Structure 1
Amino acid sequence: MPVPAQNQQYENFIIRYKQNIHGTFPYESDDTFQIVNDLFGILYVPMKDVPELELSSYSYSSIPRCYTYMDTGALSASGVTRLHEHPYLQLQGKGTLVAVIDSGIDYLHPAFHNGTRSKILSIWDQELEGEPNERIPFGREFTREQIERALASENPWEVVPSGDRNGHGTRCAATAAGYRIEKEGFSGAAPESELVIVRLKQAKMYLRDFYLLPQGADIFQEDDIMLALSYVLRVAQEQQMPLSICIGLGTSMGAHRGEGPLNEYINSIAAFTQNAVSVAAGNEGTARHHYLKELNQSVREDTVELRIGEKENTRGFMMEFWGDSPGSYYMMIQSPTGEQLSVSTSLKNSTQELSFVFVETKVLVNYIPIERRTGNTLIFMRFLHPASGIWKLQIEERMPGESRFQIWLPVRGMISDETYFLQPSPDFTITSPGDAEDAMTVTAYQHRDNSLFIQASRGYNVKNIVKPDFAAPGVGILTASTEPGREFVPATGTSLAAAQTTGIAALLFEWALVRGNEPYFTGNSVKHYLSRGAVREAGEIYPNPEWGYGRVDLYHTFELLT
C-alpha cells in the first residue's frame, strides 16, 4: 500500500508546526507528519477522519494549492555566449548545481550525458512507489551511479524507471544546464553545471475534485513542491555546492500578495548564501482570467460579466474573489436566464449552496469576511455543471472610502479558453510563486526583435512589489525534445525564460562562490546583480509591470562590475 503522501485515501494539510499554542514539542517526521523546514510541516490525515473539505473550516493556506506548467538562439541575447567563450572568465557553471522541480527528465537525452557519463547527480521520483528513508519521505531516489548503469544497459528503464511523460521538465533542464552540442547549435546556459531533478507526483484526486480541476491535466500540489525544495537543498548541502533552482510552474490561486507557505519558503531560501530560485512569471497576460475594479465614494457598485464556455458544463470550475481590507463586500450571482441569488455574508462557517432553478447549476460559496493571513475578504466559488452563457456578478461595497476588489479564474491548462471575463485586466496576473518577493521572477521576450511575449503575465504583485524582476528569452528557443525522432525543438513560455535564468544564476555562483570573488553571495545578490545589469530601452520607465528592470544581460552585468 502506498505511504500516506501517495495514498489517495489521505488528505494533506500544510501546518506551521512551530507556532503551537500548547508550547514546544519534539516533532519528528513519520508516515503521517513530514517536516519541511523549521516552520512548515505536512500533516497526512485519513480521509475518513476529516470533515468534508471546505475553506470555512480551515485556514486558506493549510489546503495545498495546485500548480501547472508555465509554457506553451537565445543565449547570445542574454550575454551568456560571450561569457562561455570569454578568454579569462569562461563561465560555464562548473562546480555549481542546478535543480529542476517539474515533470521529471529524460535522462537518456544527449543533453544530459556524454557517453555513459551523466550530468545528473540524482533524481527523486515522487510518483514511483518505494520505501521511504531518511533522505526521501516517499517515492524513489536514483543516484548518478544508477543512472550511469542505466545508460550502459540494453534496457535502461529496468535500471532507472523514471521518465518525463510531458517533456516540460526535460525542456527546462536542457535550457538551464544542457551540454553543448555543436552539431545541433545547442547549449544550456550553464553547460558544466550538474543537475538534481525532482519528478513531482500528480495532485491527489480529492484536491482535483475540491478545486474542480481537469482530471487528465498535469497538476501538482504545493506541499509536494515544498518537499522537493527541501530535498534539493539537502543534496546541495551534502555536495557543498551552490544551488540554482528552477520552478517553471504556477497558479492563480491566492491573493497575489506574495504570501502562502511555498512563497514564504522560497523567500527564506533566497536569503541564504549559495541558493537562488528562478520562477516563471506566468502566461496569463492575455488569458482574460483576471478582473479588477477600483471603488470609491461615488462608485460603490459594479457588475462583472463572465462568459462561461460549454466545456465547463461537464465538471465546472472554481474562482476566487479577493476584496481589499477593510472593505465590506456583498455579491449577487445572476445566471444567463436572469435568475439572481445572493451570497450570504452571515454564513461564515459553512459552505453555501446556491441552486438555480432555470439552469441546472449549483454554485458552492465560502464567504470569509477576514481571511487569516491577508485580512482581506475572500469569496471562494465553485460552479458545478454551469450553464454556458453570460453570467453576472453584482458587487456592492458598503463601507465609505476607496477600496478595490479582484477576481481570478484558474490559469491556462486548468480551465478552457472559452471561459473568461468580458472586461478583463492584464495587470496583477503574475502567477504564484512568481509573486514571492525574493524569488527571481522572470518574464519572456522574443530575442529576435526584443518584443515581449504576448501571453506573458503582467505585474506587479498586489502589494506593489516589483514583479517580474526582469525578462529573459522565452519565445521559440531551441531546447531538448522528448518527441520521437526529434532531439531538439523550439519552445515557448515563461518557464523557459526562468530556466535560462536558473543557468545564468549558476554562472554567477561560479564566479562569486566557486572562484571566491564574493564568498557570501545569496539568491538576493544574484537578483540584484542581474537587475542592475539588465538592458533598458531609452524613453521607457523602469521598473515597469511588463519588463521589470529590463532584459537580462549577464555580460553587461560583468561590465558594470569592472
Structure 2
Amino acid sequence: MKDIDYACAFKITDKLAILAIKDDRIDELKKAVPAIIFVNFRNKYVLQDTSVTDVSNIQPIKINPYLNLTGRGVIIGIVDTGIDYTNKEFLREDNTSRIEVIWDQTISSPNTTENSNEVFTGTVYDNDKINEAVKAKISGNDPYAIVPSRDEIGHGTQMASIAGARGYDQDVAGVANDCTFAIVKLKESQKFKNQLADEGIQNVPVYSLSVIIAGIEYLKNYSLRAKKPMIILNSIGTSDYSHDSSDVFSRYLSKIASNRGLVFVASCGNEGAAETHASGYLSGADDIKDVELKVGNSMKLLQFRVFVRRPNKMSIAVVSPSGESSQFMSSNLYKEKNVRYIFENTDLKVNFYNPDNITGLQVFLLSFSSIKSGIWKIRLKGEYIVNGRFDIWLPPSVTLKPDIRFLEPDPNQTLTAPGASSDVISVSYYNQEKNSIVPASGRGFPLFPIIKPDIAAPGISIYATSTNGSKVTVTGASAATSIVAGTCALLMQWGIVDGNDSTMYANKILSYLVAGAFRNTTTRYPDYSLGYGTLDLLEIFNSISGLKLESRGIADYTEYYTNNLYVRIPQNMEVRFVEI
C-alpha cells in the first residue's frame, strides 16, 4: 500500500489489519490491493453494563491460609473505558501502583514509553510513569501532568474494582485483590458517535471492532513479554453478528485461546429482554413468512442484517406501514438494490452477500434512510430450503431509539459478541439476592453445537469503587463478568504461579468452573440463561481436591473460623489434586 495515498493500514496479526479509508473508496482499494480478501462489516460495540467477596462462595476460599489465593502473580487485562489509576484501591500499602501498563488510545503524544511500532494510535504509560504520577498526587501536585489518562465514564474503573480492588474499603474488596492490571482505554468510534448524535442518542460509548482487537492483541503480547499469566476481561459487545462463532472476532479469539496462561472472559450482554432478535423457519420453496418490526420513533439511519442458515436460500421483500412493498429480491452475487417508499419518504438499500465472505451464510444487509414510525414487515420467501432457519438481530438496544423492536421476538440466541465464541469463558448473570434468572441477561444457545453461556455469576447491586474514589453499586452483565475474571485469576495463581497445574489454559479453567458450578434440582442443565450453573468457588476446590484423613490428636490440627463456620484442618493432611 505504499503507493496508495487515500488509505492507511496497521497490521495486527498475520491475517488482520486496521484500515483507515473513506467508505466510498473501499471497492477501489480492494481492486488495487488483491491481498485484501474481505473488509469486515462495522458493528457497534457497547458497554455491558452486594460486596463481591460475599457472593459465589469466594470468601471461604480467600481466607483459607493454606491456599492463600489473592491473584498474586497474575495480570488482569482490561479493554474498556480506562481506569482511575490514582484510586487507592489500585495501590499497594507502600503507595506503589498495581497497574503495570496503560495504553490510552485516545491520547496522541510522543512521550510514549513503549516501542511505537506496537501501537497504531495513542500513548503507552508504563509502571514507572504511573508511579511517578501517583507520587505527584500524594505530594499535592497534578498527576495528570505526567500521566493524563483518565476514566471519564467510570466503567473500566468499576470493572477493575470488582475483579481486583485492594479492599481498603471492605465493601469494594475485589476477588483477586493482589493481582496486577494491564489497561487498554479504547478510543470511541467518531463515525458511530456522530450517527448516534444525529439520532439524539447521547452518552452511549460506542466502539469499533478494530480498536478492541488491537487492544486484546496488545494485552496478549504484553503477557508474553512479562512472562506472567493473564486474564483478559471484556465487557464490551454487540448483538449484530451471526451468533455461530464464524465472525472475525470469534476466529481471532480462537487463534489466541491456545496460549498457556491466557484466558479470555466475555460478557453475554444485556439483550435478553430487549426484543431485538427474531427468528423463524420456512417449510419449503415458495413458503413465505413475515417478521414484523415496530418502529416507534423515526430514525435517520437503521441498519441490520438477515442471516439465512446454509444451505438454505431465500429472497426478501420489505413492506412499509402504508402497505407499499418492494419486489422479492435475491442475488447470487455481491450486489445491491435500492427501493424508494413514496408514502413514507424512506429509502432502503439492500446489499446481498451469498455466500458472505466471513460467515459463509446468505446475508441481506438492510440500510434504511429516514425510516418512519409504524409496523414494517421483513418478508422472506423460500427458494431452496433444507431446514429453513433464518435470524435477524438489530444493533445493541442502547443504540436504538425507544420502542424499536420485533413484535414476536425470540429471547434465545441473544448473547452479545464475543460471548458466543467457542474459545472464551462466556458469562451471564442472575439475581443473587432472589436466586432468580434475570430476563435482561443474554441467553444461549449459539447456532452451532457448543453450549453458551458457560457460567452465570451474580450481577445485581455489586459494590465497586469508581472515579474519584466514590463507591457505587453496579448491576448487569459487566459486573458478573468481572467476578468471573477475578475468580479465573485465583485459579490461574493456584495453577501456574503456585505450581499446582502448570498447563493451565482457557479450556481447563472452564472445566474447573463447570465442575464446581451450583446446579439446583429444578433446572435442567445446560440452561439457556444459566449455562452449566452458577459460580461457586468453594465447590470448585471441593471438586478438584481429594482428602485423606488420619486419626490424630487435637494438637495436630489448625483451627479457624469462616464466618460462623468452625474449620479444623490436620497439620499434615494429604491433599491430592486431580485434573477433571
Q: What is the TM-score when the length of structure 2 is the normalising length?
A: 0.85
* Offset, 1:457: 0.9
Go from structure 1 to structure 2 and tell me whether the alpha carbon gap of 1:397 and 1:447 turns closer, same or farther (over 3 Å shift).
same
SS at match of 1:117: coil
Task: Confirm or deny: 8 A CA contact 1:472 1:552 kept in the other structure.
Answer: yes
* Offset, 1:278: 0.4
Residue 192 of structure 1 is matched in structure 2 by 178
Go from structure 1 to structure 2 and tell me whether the alpha carbon gap of 1:462 and 1:396 turns closer, same or farther (over 3 Å shift).
same
CA distance in 1 between counterparts of 2:13 and 2:231 reads 18
- The reply to whether residue 522 of structure 1 matches residue 500 of structure 2 is no
Residue 248 of structure 2 is matched in structure 1 by 261
Q: Deviations over 1:528-559 (max 9, x none)?
A: 11011111011322112111100011110101
Go from structure 1 to structure 2 and tell me whether the alpha carbon gap of 1:239 and 1:493 turns closer, same or farther (over 3 Å shift).
same
CA distance in 2 between counterparts of 1:402 and 1:212 reads 41
Report the residue type matching 2:368 in the other structure: F
Q: Deviations over 1:328-365 (max 9, x none)?
A: 21222111111111252138433322111001111111
Go from structure 1 to structure 2 and tell me whether the alpha carbon gap of 1:504 and 1:335 turns closer, same or farther (over 3 Å shift).
same
Residue 15 of structure 1 is matched in structure 2 by none
Q: Deviations over 1:418-446 (max 9, x none)?
A: 10000000011111111110100000112
Residue 106 of structure 1 is matched in structure 2 by 84
* Offset, 1:209: 5.5
Task: Confirm or deny: 8 A CA contact 1:306 1:391 kept in the other structure.
Answer: yes
Out of 544, 562, 566, the residue aligned to residue 561 of structure 1 is: 544
Structure 2 unaligned segments of length 5 or more: list them. 546-580
Residue 16 of structure 1 is matched in structure 2 by none
Residue 15 of structure 2 is matched in structure 1 by 39
CA distance in 1 between counterparts of 2:336 and 2:89 reads 51
Question: What are the equivalent positions in structure 2 for 1:457-536 lying under 5 Å apart?
Answer: 457-482=442-467, 487-536=470-519
Report the residue type matching 2:18 in the other structure: I
Q: Deviations over 1:49-91 (max 9, x none)?
A: 544899xx996663443311111x3433222211110121120
CA distance in 2 between counterparts of 1:392 and 1:52 reads 34
Go from structure 1 to structure 2 and tell me whether the alpha carbon gap of 1:210 and 1:155 turns closer, same or farther (over 3 Å shift).
closer
Task: Confirm or deny: 8 A CA contact 2:355 2:362 kept in the other structure.
Answer: yes
- The reply to whether residue 84 of structure 1 matches residue 62 of structure 2 is yes
* Offset, 1:322: 0.4
CA distance in 1 between counterparts of 2:509 and 2:454 reads 11
Residue 445 of structure 1 is matched in structure 2 by 430
Go from structure 1 to structure 2 and tell me whether the alpha carbon gap of 1:522 and 1:227 turns closer, same or farther (over 3 Å shift).
same
Residue 362 of structure 1 is matched in structure 2 by 347
Question: What are the equivalent positions in structure 2 for 1:366-381 lying under 5 Å apart?
Answer: 366-381=351-366
* Offset, 1:39: 3.3
CA distance in 2 between counterparts of 1:369 and 1:135 reads 37
Go from structure 1 to structure 2 and tell me whether the alpha carbon gap of 1:404 and 1:64 turns closer, same or farther (over 3 Å shift).
same
CA distance in 2 between counterparts of 1:400 and 1:419 reads 30
Go from structure 1 to structure 2 and tell me whether the alpha carbon gap of 1:48 and 1:290 turns closer, same or farther (over 3 Å shift).
closer
CA distance in 2 between counterparts of 1:79 and 1:53 reads 55
CA distance in 1 between counterparts of 2:442 and 2:372 reads 29
CA distance in 1 between counterparts of 2:517 and 2:18 reads 39
* Offset, 1:122: 0.7
Report the residue type matching 1:447 in the other structure: Q
Q: What is the TM-score when the length of structure 1 is the normalising length?
A: 0.88
Q: Which has the larger radius of gyration?
A: 2
Report the residue type matching 1:539 in the other structure: T
Question: What are the equivalent positions in structure 2 for 1:310-349 lying under 5 Å apart?
Answer: 310=297, 312-313=298-299, 315-346=300-331, 348-349=333-334
Residue 119 of structure 1 is matched in structure 2 by 98
Residue 551 of structure 2 is matched in structure 1 by none
Go from structure 1 to structure 2 and tell me whether the alpha carbon gap of 1:369 and 1:135 turns closer, same or farther (over 3 Å shift).
closer
Go from structure 1 to structure 2 and tell me whether the alpha carbon gap of 1:302 and 1:59 turns closer, same or farther (over 3 Å shift).
farther
Go from structure 1 to structure 2 and tell me whether the alpha carbon gap of 1:534 and 1:327 turns closer, same or farther (over 3 Å shift).
same
Report the residue type matching 1:190 in the other structure: A
* Offset, 1:287: 0.1
* Offset, 1:295: 2.3
Go from structure 1 to structure 2 and tell me whether the alpha carbon gap of 1:549 and 1:196 turns closer, same or farther (over 3 Å shift).
same
- The reply to whether residue 205 of structure 1 matches residue 191 of structure 2 is yes
Go from structure 1 to structure 2 and tell me whether the alpha carbon gap of 1:60 and 1:433 turns closer, same or farther (over 3 Å shift).
farther
Question: What are the equivalent positions in structure 2 for 1:211-290 lying under 5 Å apart?
Answer: 217-290=204-277
Out of 144, 164, 175, the residue aligned to residue 157 of structure 1 is: 144
Task: Confirm or deny: 8 A CA contact 1:120 1:196 kept in the other structure.
Answer: yes
Question: Greater CA deviation, 452-461 or 261-270?
Answer: 261-270
CA distance in 2 between counterparts of 1:195 and 1:89 reads 22
Question: Greater CA deviation, 62-71 or 296-305?
Answer: 296-305
Q: Deviations over 1:110-150 (max 9, x none)?
A: 22124631111110001111347133222101111211221
CA distance in 2 between counterparts of 1:251 and 1:481 reads 24
Report the residue type matching 1:121 in the other structure: E
Residue 572 of structure 2 is matched in structure 1 by none
Residue 118 of structure 2 is matched in structure 1 by 135
